[in-house]
Amino acid sequence: MRILIVDDEQLALNRLSRLLTELGYTDITAATSANQALEAAKGSKNGFDAAFLDISMSGGGGIELGGELKKVYPDIFIVYQTAFEEYALKAFEVGAVDYLLKPYDKTTLKRSIERIEGNKKNVIPRFVSKIGDTKLLLTPSDIYYVKADLSETMLRSQEGFSYYQGKISTLEESLRPHSFARIHRSYIINLNKIKELIPAPQSRIIFSFTGINERIESSKEGAKRFRETIEASNLTN
């Protein structure tokens, strides 16, 4: 497991690194600030599986850092650590898998690692998006389709369109294992939400969805990829 640890207190950083090493995890990257952590994340060739973030840091808080890391690696497991209990709800709102209250011992850290390892076997990503000032925490099953509109990425759910701070290409990688397909440069659709397939000119396909009265037309290349995806699925079933 590739782990990123971030704390602006060097002693705390050293202690966490030592505990993780004692538990058998040695692929560790340490950072003492949010900016340093983001640089490490964006510059990493293999990415990170998990990040342990201190919430209260000078020069940028861990909550905000967790959100930025999720944009780079949507499937990363975030564990927050702090001496203040009042941050717990906020931590889970941004998709934390665990919350460690300082000071913690190796047994507590081990339980947190075991929670990550357990979730890795059945990962259900969650995506934070916004409608006005309201934040939504959506799972793949909540999403009908993803739409890229100029520089914005929107998620269509029962609540309507919400804005997601990330690229559609990054979402595609996270959603593909959950029965999503790219049917246009601007659209990714949930195959489990399809109600009807309507033939369109130039071998394109128009999709309608169960639960919402909307239709989306694929590109010619997107329709080809969709048919190949369905054929491959039929061969394996």
127 is written with which tokens?
A: 């995506």
* Burial class of 52 by CB neighbour count within 10 A (0 to 12, 13 to 18, 19+): buried
Domain boundaries, the chain: 3-121, 127-236
* Contact status, residue 91 vs residue 25, Cβ threshold 8 Å: no
Task: Record the pTM.
Answer: 0.53
The CATH classification number of 3-121 equals 3.40.50.2300
174 is written with which tokens?
A: 């996270």
Return averaged pLDDT per consecutive 10 residues of the chain, 237 residues in all: 92 95 94 92 85 83 85 85 67 72 89 80 75 90 93 93 89 85 95 94 95 96 87 52
Amino acid, single-letter form, for residue 62: G
8-59 pLDDT tens trace: 999 999 999 999 999 999 999 999 999 999 999 888 877 888 999 998 887 6
Helix (H) or strand (E) holding 227: helix 220-236
Instruction: For residue 127, give the DSSP letter.
Output: E
Cβ burial 85-107 (10 Å sphere, 16+ → b, else e): eebeeebeebbbbbbbeeeeeee
* Contact status, residue 127 vs residue 120, Cβ threshold 8 Å: no
Determine the Cα angle at 108 with ends 103 and 109, to 5°: 90
Residue 237: what pLDDT?
45
Residue 121: what pLDDT?
58
28-38 pLDDT tens trace: 999 999 999 99
CA–CA separation, 44 and 217 (whole Å): 37
Q: Is 178 left (phi over 0), alpha (psi -120 to 50) or beta?
A: alpha
Residue 236: what pLDDT?
40
Q: Are strands 160-164 and 50-54 parallel, antiparallel or unpaired?
A: unpaired
127-236: which CATH architecture? Beta Barrel (2.40)
Cβ burial 198-220 (10 Å sphere, 16+ → b, else e): eeeeeebbebebeeeeeebbbbe
CA–CA separation, 27 and 4 (whole Å): 9
